[in-house]
Amino acid sequence: MAEKDNNKDAADFGIGIPVKKNPFFLKGLEHADWGIKDRMSRIFNPQSGNTVMLAFDHGYLMGPTSGLERMDLTITPLIEYADCIMCTRGALRAIVPPTSNKPISLRFSAGTTVLTELNDECLLDIEDAIRVNASALAIMVAIGSKYEALTVKNLIRTADMGAKYGIPTLGVTAVGKELVRDTRFLALASRVCAENGATFVKTYFCETGFEQVVAACPVPIVIAGGKKLPENEALEFAWLAIQQGAAGVDMGRNVFQSEHPVAMIQAVRAVVHDQRTPKEAFDLYNTLKK
């Protein structure tokens, strides 16, 4: 019998049933392309709307900082607990098992180390980001610095390249030594990133007015951890950030420099995804570390 003969006639056209709409769960991205939404849905958990990103890209700037001397020993065991990993291509190829199957926020700009002032940052090659199956391109943007225009240009170029291949751009707001991390600065820097094409923004938590920073940024914000704090304090500010509208954390030192990093990342998850209070999360940390 010919393939075209005796096929069941199409009859179930659902006439009168409105076409289903699927509003996207992350703010400001309703009109993003399918590939961008697909990757963002891998980075952010569609149930909680949030993400726990594990940042260990510090070596590109700081060299072998505490906790990252042997990433194969300290970072590899943490990967399974992260929703997304943020790292350089060097660390990725050296210590991340491809079988981890985690979305990667690839450090996409580089050029400055702690030995110099911020300088002439350059971009990686988009082909290499595609080669390693990056889910986001992380770009440093130094608002208020001498290199403001260069880093904004890098962001714009990255957002354009990312858009071409459906890869989101993460605008990472850098704070120069002379700048204060207050509401006004963080709101301005985050907004500049979003306006110039960042799909999501990484910035710092501030004690007062963080809600305004989030409200004024039209795309999701994740917060950096910053320098190592006692575990209960780190859980407290992660909780405050989530309560005030952050869509997650992109934490490094407060996880991998913890005395018990595997317990700490799970406690952070409890705050970010399960709406646990800082006290409950700290109790969980103490239980897990045993």
Q: How far is the CB of 227 from ligand 5RP (least distance, A)?
A: 7
Q: How far is the CB of 202 from ligand 5RP (least distance, A)?
A: 6
Cβ-contact 190, 203 below 8 angstroms: yes
Q: Which is nearer to ligand 5RP, 37 or 253 (CB)?
A: 253
Catalytic residue, chosen from 202, 228, 279, 290, is 202
Q: Which is nearer to ligand 5RP, 25 or 200 (CB)?
A: 200
Q: How far is the CB of 222 from ligand 5RP (least distance, A)?
A: 10
Q: How far is the CB of 138 from ligand 5RP (least distance, A)?
A: 7
Cβ-contact 63, 88 below 8 angstroms: no
Contact residues: ligand 5RP, CB under 6 A: 55, 57-58, 86, 140, 172, 224-226, 250-254
Per the annotation, the verdict on 227 as an active-site residue is: no
Apex 108 CA angle, 224 and 137, nearest 5: 70
Q: How far is the CB of 65 from ligand 5RP (least distance, A)?
A: 9
CA 7 vs. chain centroid, Å, equals: 49
Instruction: Give the residue numbers annotated as catalytic, written as ranges.
Output: 202
